[in-house]
Structure 1
């Protein structure tokens, strides 16, 4: 796969850190990786954005950002309020194609969830995946409520004929409760796709060298790592 689209079931659930882990594993295998963030919202011009953060942690060759809007809102809303032109799915897909000409892997990280609006025409990350014919990796939270949002995202992907690679828990708690432990078995059923990893809470605060050394242990073999869902479930009870 030359392009993977990374989405989530909501905000602040670990998409950037999962993207960084994917990039770290691929980079360690000798592949050149580009991380593309179509629209970064809620940051000042001089702050490190999600693409830059993922590249910093992973050692990815390239971090690209198409637009930055000041308020922490959906891209279309933030662009409109700032009086700026939004980023469109077509522009995003074109940028990803160009990056794929010079990189072995391009990771496109969306903002929020799959159907958050990019522009006033209703364009979304799902449209980007469709234009690229790219598989989609869904990042999910660990605990109560995740099964419904995971199932809804999977249903939206299927309705659009998009390929879901699987799901990754973006922030696995140090002391998982009953719901989180049960969700390890239930998430694949809700998603209709395999559970492909669990990134520990706080992984983004690790020094880059340690992050890169650990990344493969958080992701399953289809994503280039060594994580095993059954063994992980046994280890957390």
Structure 2
């Protein structure tokens, strides 16, 4: 029996926690394992250029994909706001049928989907990111800051996902700023014991982009099967 290709939905406890870095690390690991993955960022806001959405293109590059931008990211907005809010300011309603059509073209193989912000960030007038997760039926990789406040934010996110009967593959803790945080030492152990979820990281703050990419790859390697990575 042929095993199912690896598929993940990367979401976060907040914005700016490292979702795209996690998504790119997963895609590059899957590519190296021979899975020919695709990245999918259905909604991206804060785009300096609508023709070149930075996060979606970073995912495409990490996957080694040649898909057109519209296939990787069907909804793009310049305003650095929740996608549903950015669309409303323009008097637009993102067509959910376009989201589903793009998803249906990708769902058969290895894929990493990245949300926008946290679970309850609106993507249109009726739906939040968590509704996408529930609709796509993918295991979640939840990205959170490493440090004080994470226990509460992770617990709330896990509770919301459990209420939707969504499987959580792992929590990834990421340090996005330099310095020390007294709470960081205990977070991983506590979250694993309290919530019974695998916790990866914390990924340290590394200023050099290449070294930071490698730090994320090391932390996320357990999510790619050992046999596959050995190909």
- 1:138 aligned to 137, 142, 147, which one? 142
Q: Map 1:173-192; keep pairs closer than 5 Å.
A: 175-189=179-193, 191-192=195-196
Partner of 1:124: 128
- 1:165 aligned to 169, 180, 197, which one? 169
SS in 1 for 2:11: strand
TM-score normalized by structure 2? 0.83
**Contact (CA 8 Å) 1:166, 1:191: kept in 2 or not?**
no
Partner of 1:222: 223
Structure-2 separation of matches of 1:206 and 1:78 = 32
Give ranges in structure 2 of 5+ residues lacking alignment: 227-231
TM-score normalized by structure 1? 0.81
Structure-1 separation of matches of 2:207 and 2:110 = 22
Structure-2 separation of matches of 1:94 and 1:80 = 22
The farther-off stretch of 184-193 and 67-76 is 184-193
Structure-2 separation of matches of 1:51 and 1:156 = 26
Residue by residue over 1:38-73, the C-alpha shift from the partner in whole angstroms, topping out at 9 and shown as x without a partner, is 1111113244421212333x2432461011112111
Partner of 2:79: 71
Give ranges in structure 1 of 5+ residues lacking alignment: 226-237
Partner of 1:115: 120
**Contact (CA 8 Å) 1:66, 1:87: kept in 2 or not?**
no
Give me the CA root mean square deviation: 2.5
**Contact (CA 8 Å) 1:41, 1:78: kept in 2 or not?**
yes
Structure-1 separation of matches of 2:94 and 2:141 = 24
SS in 1 for 2:115: strand
Partner of 2:229: none
